[in-house]
Amino acid sequence: MHEVVITKDGSHSIYVHELDEHYHSVHGAITESRHVFIEAGLKQFKNRQIRILEMGFGTGLNALLTLAEANQSDISIYYTGIEKYPLEKTIIESLNFESLTDHTVTGMLKLIHDSPWHQDVLIKPGFILKKLQCDMHEMELIDEFDLVYFDAFAPEKQPELWTKDLFSKIFLSMKSNSILTTYSSKGMVRRNLEAAGFRVEKIPGPPGKREITRAYKSSM
């Protein structure tokens, strides 16, 4: 069962009763996503064209915030989002993200979720979206990504998604001098990232979380 809830910054998240887990931080869904993925990830690049991979597409919030930032910064994004269990349309339609974000993305969340799976979709000039409905372990990654948003459910809820093997698969799909960001700072996560080849650092987290993780695939 999925339940829409209000987080501390006024934005919605979703509570999954079966996992006893939220899709976002209860301290602020938009606040967390901006901090972890936009500030610590997207804004670290000077490139005008960026290829992004999101592991755990979920509500589409990270894609929406990325689109808003692309509009402001005049950058082009090719965005690949992976999600095994897409949310029901009624849940998506009840989310309040657009009312709390940049006016340039009004109507975009519906467009993002209505877009067909497994094909490139031009959401608006400069932003191409490709959604893949598949298991992260079974996916084929043939693109070279500049940035990875790793936004799976927490390691204690789905440990199979935070393994060295999966991180190694992602590592091989990334360009040199690329970045992976995630909200988790658990030691197991950092160790598995390092074992996969990443250079890992802990950086300050959003409200309610002391630290998050940023990992680099450096040039040889």
Mean pLDDT of 113-141: 95
CA angle 87–37–203, rounded 5-degree value: 135
- SS3 of residue 171 by DSSP: helix
Q: Which residues 6+ apart lie within 8 Å of 154 measured at CB?
A: 21, 184
User: CA 162, CA 52: separation in Å to the nearest integer?
Assistant: 19
Interval 204-215: pLDDT, tens: 999 999 999 999
pLDDT the model gives residue 140: 85
Architecture of domain 29-217: 3-Layer(aba) Sandwich (3.40)
Radius of gyration of the chain, Cα coordinates, nearest whole angstrom = 16
Tracing tokens 């349309």 back to the chain, one arrives at: 89
pLDDT the model gives residue 74: 84
46 pLDDT more than 90: no
C-alpha torsion sign, points 194, 20, 133, 80: negative
Tell me the pLDDT band of 102, cut-offs 50, 70 and 90.
confident
Domain ranges of the chain: 29-217
User: CA 219, CA 58: separation in Å to the nearest integer?
Assistant: 31
**Does the pTM exceed 0.75?**
yes
pLDDT the model gives residue 220: 54
